[in-house]
Structure formats: C-alpha cells, structure tokens
C-alpha cells in the first residue's frame, strides 16, 4: 500500500496522456478526452480506481478555483462593469427561470416541496470548467456567445453563496425529528456565530480580499521578484490562491468566487502576466484531474439498474435548460448561431452541483438514493456536453445563422470563384483583404465569428460564416480553382488545422499563413510552410526604421538595412526551428546567429558600393523586367 499513491498518479497520468491526444485527433476536444479516460479507468470498466475517485474530485475542484483566478486576471474592473447588464440580466434570469421550472417539475413527479426547491437551485448551475475550457480551445471566448456564457457562469458562481445560505432553511426534518442526530455537518469558523455576525464576517472576508489584492500583494510580489527565484514566485502565487480558498471556505463562501475577485483586483498589476504563466500549468493539470474524476464517478451499475429513469432525467433536464437559455438568448437579441452556441454550451449541470448535493445530503434534505441518482445525472450531462458542442459545430452551425439568412441574394452562395481565399477577417486578415480588393484582386473571405460576419456584411464586405478547416466548406468556397489561401485566424491551433486540411485536399494552393510569434512559426515550418508571416515583425521593423530616421540615418539607408535584417532573420528562424527542443543548443545558436547578424549589418553600413544590393530582391526584379511584367 506504500506505493498506492504513486500507482494512482501513474494511472491518472497515463490515461490522460493516452486518451486526450486521441480525442483531440478525432476532433472531440480535450475535455471529452479526460472524461473518457476517467470512464475507462473507473470502477465500471477497468477498475483501476474506486471510491477514492470521490476524494480526488474534491481535490481536483481546486482546478476550477485556479481557472476562475486566471479569468479574473484577464478582466479589468472596468470591463466587468460593462458586462453588468448581461451578468445580472442574463445570469439572473437563467438561474430564476431554470430553478422555477425544474423545481415545479420535481414537485409534480412526487418530491417534497423543500426537495423540489433544492433540486431547482442545484440544476440551475452550469459547468464553468467545461464551458470555459471548450470556449478557450475553440477561440470563441470573445464572441457574443462566449461573453454571454461567461456572464451567466459568473452570476451562477455568485449565486452559490445565497443558495448555500438558503439550504439549511429547507431542512424541515429538524422540526419533525426525522433526521439522525448524529448527521454530519461541515463546520466553519463562523458557523456557530449569530446570523448578523456571520454577515459581517462574510463582508469582512470580501473586503480583505480586495485590500489584499490592492495594497498587500503587490509589494510582496515585488520583494519576491527581487530574489530572482522563479520557484519562490510560483510558491507565492499558489500561496495567494490557496490562502484565499481557505479563507472563503471558512466563512462559508465559494472559493471560486473569492479567487475570481482576487484575480480581478490584480488585473492591473504589473505581475499579472507572471502570475498567469505560473498558475496556468497547475490549473490545466488539476482541471484535467477533475474531468477524469467526473468520468470515473459515473455509476454505470446505477444506470444499468434504472436506465429509463436516468436517461429521462438527463434528457428532460438538458431540454429544459436548453429551452430556457435559448429564450433568454432571443430576449437579448443574440443571432441564431450564437444562440445555439450559448444554449447548447450551458445546458449541462455544473460541478458546483456536486458540492450542493453533498451539502443537501449532509443536511438530510435528500436520501442516499436521490443523491446517487442526481450525482450520476450531473456527471452524464457534463460528459456529453463536449459531444453536443461538437455536433453543434459540425452539423447545426453550418445550416443556421449567417450562412442561411432568408434575405440572402443568390450570389451569396459561393458562386464566385476567386483566386484568393482568406480564412479569418480580424485585424490581420482585414488589412490583407482591403489591400487586395483595392488592387482589383477578388477574394473569398471565411470567418467563424458570426458577429463579425454580420457587421462586415452591413459594411458591404462579402464575408461568409464557416470553419475554414472543413474540407467541404473550402470546396464550396472555390478552393479547387483558387490559387492562394491566406490563413489569418487568431488561434494558432486552428491555423495549423487549416494548413493540414489544405495540404491534404488542395495541394495546388499556395498557403500564406499568419504566425503569432517565433515558436508558432517553428510549428508552421515543421508543417512544411514556406510563406510564414509573424504578425508583429513588420510593425516592429517600421518602428525601428522610424527611430533610425529620427537619429539622422537617411531614409533609403534605414529601409535597406531593415530589409537586410529581415532577410537574414528568416534564415535564422529556419536554423533555430531545427534545434528548438534542445535548450542549450538553442541558446548557443541564438547567440551565434545574433553575432553573425551584427557583423553583416556593420559591414553593410560601411559599404559604399551599393550597386549590388542583395537586401532587395534583385533577381526577381530582373526576371519581371525580362518578362515585361511592367507595362
């Protein structure tokens, strides 16, 4: 038994390492991969883990806490204030309507009134972990559906506080004396205090978190940073998150809400990005562990004994939630495709339901049979959500929304076969498209952000909604007769996916692809790309050239030196791509190439014979003159 912990760790990690890449390869997403891993190693199949899976789930819920801390770091208080209407409006309406409808349904099927109220409140929750992870993976967080989903999830996290406060009031069994006096209740530091003192303690804890983030944490991080010990900074970041979690738990508040608040307070801190990079690996690992534990917790014996009951509950609950969410989306004027993303994404029951079910079981509101049944229902709804979102993406979104509006003209059906296809029309692709169109080069533009598509169409720009990594969509867009495809999406993973699809099905197309940074460019080089464009490189060089001009360099000379730098930097990029996985060799190569670059530039500065200027593409220029391309 001494090695059981290491054996369990080995099983969890092995299942994740095997199943997640398979799920990603099949287009199922990492969340479903983790859930499948949990099901496979759980007690219902291979049986590598048993009841200890429930204990691990409580530990792994800390991943949700870390995720909300990181989300808070991304949100400045001003942005949070801008979202107040959707947080209070959409979130409040969703919780109230879902709790009311599901509570009434529970009462109709025979539960007591207090159990019905508890069920309604529990079912109103959705999974922050699954929804946010999926939205981030697919690059949908900043879309209308992504922001609306976040607003609803944030309200739900806040609503956990009054829900937990309300649950003890539903214990009518204390009056009738039907609950075992030895029933276990979770104790906190404030649980024995009078109600008014508990309220003061809760408000004091929230005020302390704000005070900690504003005044105490920054100087502490500053002092730790001066030690230049990365591991100590990481330990301090974890200490902050764990400390707030303990504090929130002891005053009866949601730890996730407390750490989210701390993240928002620290959003303007100079150490924000360092905190993100230090916490991110722990968050990802613990979230993965949480999803595995959810998969392992599904009681297939219970499901096999009463399959009709379980299936009916799962379908009924998800249908009610989906309908409520869809109506709310309509009320808030969401487009049809965005509303589908919003409604299907949030129609599951969330991880906080495990906490609430455990609490209600301890309080004697539910018996063991109801608790186990609801635990299975919660886990199943969470497990099938990534699959529903995949079905929505592949089959539903391609047939609704911007692609099939009733007022579309006939020529909006990809009837034009243009020489250039642009995948992604954000800040990068937009400039390319405008420049090409201004020069009389027709383009076919695809974008997965329906709000952007609708806005650009109103401006008179012909843009089509769709995922450019789909072979059938590229075929409809005229990829067979096109000459060039320019890949400009914000997601590096999606860009690589499009590149793979084009190489496989349309090898004749010249692929020009956007890279976010050098490491993104390395992956694209590995994929065989010849035309890679780092998005900040040209802007950085323009800034440097302007600085040289202000320092007295002649315009032509500064531009010429910049071109020479870019030419040699491309060569360096290819050299570094081959050694990037060997850290020591990579560093040595960087130093060696940087020294070579400096020597080349210095020699060029003092070169007075500029008749042979290899920083300009002289061979191409001569070829164009010979072929009379300039008329």
pLDDT digits 0-9 by tens, 91-110: 999 999 999 999 999 999 88
Burial (CB < 10 A; 0-12, 13-18, 19+), residue 31, is buried
pLDDT of residue 99: 93
The predicted-structure confidence for 423-467, as pLDDT tens digits, reads as follows 888 878 888 888 888 778 888 888 877 667 777 777 766 777 777
The predicted-structure confidence for 300-347, as pLDDT tens digits, reads as follows 788 888 889 999 999 999 999 999 999 999 998 888 888 888 999 899
pLDDT of residue 103: 92
d(CA 386, CA 396): 14
8-state DSSP, 169? G
Report H helices in 109-185.
113-123, 128-137, 144-166, 173-176
Collect the ranges in the chain with pLDDT lower than 50: 1-3, 173-185, 401-415, 610-617, 621, 629-631
DSSP run (H or E) holding 446: strand 443-447
Cα-based torsion angle of the residue sequence 360, 361, 366, 367 in order, rounded to the nearest 10 degrees: 180
d(CA 245, CA 237): 13
DSSP run (H or E) holding 628: none
Cβ neighbours of residue 451 closer than 8 Å, sequence gap 6 or more: 143, 144, 335, 338
d(CA 463, CA 443): 9
pTM: 0.57
Q: Which domains does the chain have, with CATH numbers?
A: 7-173+192-396 (1.20.1530.20), 415-626 (3.40.50.720)
pLDDT of residue 438: 77
Please state, as a whole number, how many other Cβ atoms lie within 10 Å of the Cβ of residue 92: 15
Burial (CB < 10 A; 0-12, 13-18, 19+), residue 2, is exposed
* Chain center to CA of 474: 26
d(CA 151, CA 75): 12
d(CA 544, CA 299): 62
Helix axes 336-345, 450-458, angle to 10 degrees: 170
Q: Is the dihedral of CA 515, 521, 527, 529 positive or negative?
A: positive
pLDDT of residue 174: 41
Sheet holding 443-447, edge to edge: 463-465, 443-447, 420-423, 484-487, 510-515, 531-534
pLDDT of residue 107: 92
pLDDT of residue 61: 65
SS (H, E, C) 351-374: CHHHHHHHHHHHHCCCCHHHHHHH
Cβ pair 318, 46 in contact under 8 A: no
């Amino acid at each position: 038994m001494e090695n059981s912990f290491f054996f369990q760790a080995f099983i969890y990690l092995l299942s994740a390492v095997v199943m997640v890449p398979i799920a990603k390869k099949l287009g199922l997403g990492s969340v479903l991969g983790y859930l499948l891993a949990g099901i496979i190693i759980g007690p219902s199949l291979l049986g590598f883990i048993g009841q200890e899976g429930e204990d691990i789930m409580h530990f792994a819920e800390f991943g949700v806490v870390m995720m909300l801390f990181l989300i808070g770091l991304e949100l400045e208080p001003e942005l949070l204030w801008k979202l107040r209407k959707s947080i209070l409006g959409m979130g409040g309406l969703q919780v109230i309507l879902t709790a009311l409808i599901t509570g009434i349904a529970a009462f109709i099927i025979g539960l007591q009134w207090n159990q019905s109220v508890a069920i309604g409140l529990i079912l109103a929750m959705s999974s922050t972990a699954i929804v946010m992870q999926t939205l981030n993976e697919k690059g949908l967080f900043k879309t209308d559906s992504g922001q609306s989903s976040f607003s609803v999830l944030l309200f739900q996290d806040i609503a956990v506080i009054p829900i937990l406060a309300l649950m003890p009031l539903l214990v009518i069994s204390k009056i009738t004396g039907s609950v075992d006096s030895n029933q276990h209740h979770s104790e906190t530091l404030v649980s024995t205090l009078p109600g008014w003192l508990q309220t003061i303690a809760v408000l004091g804890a929230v005020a302390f978190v704000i005070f900690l983030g504003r005044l105490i944490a920054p100087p502490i991080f500053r002092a730790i940073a001066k030690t230049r010990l990365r591991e100590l900074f990481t330990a301090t970041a974890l200490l902050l998150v764990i400390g707030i979690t303990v504090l929130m738990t002891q005053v009866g508040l949601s730890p996730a809400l407390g750490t989210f608040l701390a993240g928002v307070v620290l959003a303007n801190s100079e150490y924000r990005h360092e905190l993100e990079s230090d916490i991110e690996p722990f968050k990802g690992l613990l979230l993965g562990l949480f999803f595995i534990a959810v998969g392992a917790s599904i009681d297939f014996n219970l499901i096999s004994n009463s399959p009709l009951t379980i299936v009916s509950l799962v379908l009924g609950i998800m249908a009610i939630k989906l309908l409520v969410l869809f109506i709310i989306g309509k009320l808030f004027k969401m487009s049809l495709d965005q509303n589908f993303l919003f409604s299907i994404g949030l129609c599951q029951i969330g991880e906080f339901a495990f906490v609430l079910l455990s609490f209600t079981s301890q309080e004697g509101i539910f018996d063991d049979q109801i608790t186990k049944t609801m635990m299975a229902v919660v886990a199943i709804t969470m497990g099938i959500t990534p699959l529903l979102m995949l079905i929505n993406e592949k089959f539903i979104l391609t047939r609704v929304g911007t692609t099939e509006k009733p007022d579309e003209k006939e020529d909006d059906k990809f009837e034009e076969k243009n020489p250039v296809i642009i995948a992604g029309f954000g800040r990068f692709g937009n400039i390319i498209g405008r420049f090409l169109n201004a020069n009389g080069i027709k383009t076919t533009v695809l974008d997965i952000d329906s709000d952007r598509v609708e806005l650009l169409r109103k401006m008179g720009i012909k843009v089509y909604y769709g995922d450019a990594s789909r072979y059938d969509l590229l075929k409809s867009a005229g990829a067979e007769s096109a000459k060039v495809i320019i890949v400009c999406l914000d997601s590096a993973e999606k860009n690589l996916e499009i590149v793979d699809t084009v190489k496989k099905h349309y090898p004749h197309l010249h692929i020009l692809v956007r890279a976010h940074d050098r490491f993104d460019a390395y992956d694209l080089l590995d994929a065989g790309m010849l035309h890679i464009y780092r998005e900040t490189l040209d802007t950085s060089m323009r800034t440097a050239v302007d600085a040289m001009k202000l320092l007295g360099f002649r315009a032509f000379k500064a531009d010429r030196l910049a071109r020479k730098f870019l030419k040699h930097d491309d060569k360096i990029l290819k050299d570094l791509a081959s050694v990037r996985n060997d850290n020591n060799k990579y560093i040595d190569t960087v130093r060696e190439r940087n020294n070579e670059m400096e020597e080349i530039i210095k020699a060029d500065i003092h070169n007075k014979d500029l008749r042979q200027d290899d920083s300009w593409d002289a061979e191409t220029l001569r070829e164009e003159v010979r072929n009379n391309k300039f008329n």
